[in-house]
Amino acid sequence: MRAEHGSLQGCLEVITKSARDIVPGTEDAGVTLIARGRVLEPRAATSDMQRKVDELQHRLGEGPCVQAIWEHETVLVTDMRTEQRWPAFAPEASRIGVQSMLSFQLYTTEDTLGALNLHSSRPNAFGDTSLSIGSTLSTHAAIALIASEREEQFRNALASRDIIGQAKGMLMQRYSIDAAQAFALLTEQSQHVNQPLSEVARTLVEHGLPD
């Protein structure tokens, strides 16, 4: 499973499109991530309906996705019209046309959890084959997500290093100082304005040194 353009978002889109295409009963799919801030973040929904149901769980703080993430389990909803586990979510989901759901927890990193969410407008849409294929897909998806996140972090680190290098060069040229002294100036400014070093460097490169 390879991410489009090597990006995290591309990886998420491959996952949800694959789930929609190969898990029996699935009409649409989405991924929800929870980062260190413990905020639900719906991503890569394959339809407006999936986006609505993901955002509904985000707003209410309950539903199969939330349970899958925090309880480390696979959650199946056979008929949303008679579902009792989430008294706020189930009636709203049924009203907008979601009658079956299947959510798998995705292990990503120590700081990030996620869930793969599938839905159908028909009750009893997901059977044993759906559970089996979906479980296998979610395992591969979690591995792909970890790899994609690490690659993105690596690219960001390289970009930060490059921008800091440019800023150091500007300071060295202007003030006739060496690299260590230029880095010390950037660090001092970072602490003074309470911003990451890379942001201070980016501002300097984009706007230049004052006359």
Q: Write down all domains in the chain, each with its CATH number in brackets.
A: 4-153 (3.30.450.40), 158-207 (1.10.10.10)
Q: Where are the beta strands (DSSP E) in the chain?
A: 28-34, 40-43, 75-77, 100-107, 113-120
pTM, entire model: 0.70
What integer pLDDT is reported at residue 37 of this predicted model?
A: 57
Amino acid in position 181 = Q
Helix axes 128-175, 197-207, angle to 10 degrees: 60
Q: Which pLDDT value is given to residue 2? A: 46
Q: What is the pLDDT of residue 73?
A: 86
CA gap 119, 126 in Å, rounded: 9
pLDDT of residue 76: 97
β-pairing verdict for 100-107 and 28-34: unpaired
CA 201 – CA 160 distance, rounded (Å): 9
Note the pLDDT of residue 3: 45
3-state secondary structure of 41: strand
Query: With a cut of 50, which residues of the chain have pLDDT below it?
Result: 2-5
For residue 168, CA distances in Å to 8, 81, 146 come to 30, 62, 33
- pLDDT of amino acid 28: 96
At 113, phi and psi to the nearest 5? -115, 165
pLDDT digits (tens, 9 = 90+) for 100-136: 999 999 875 666 788 999 999 999 999 999 999 999 9
3-state secondary structure of 119: strand
Q: Which residue has the tokens 């993901």?
A: 54
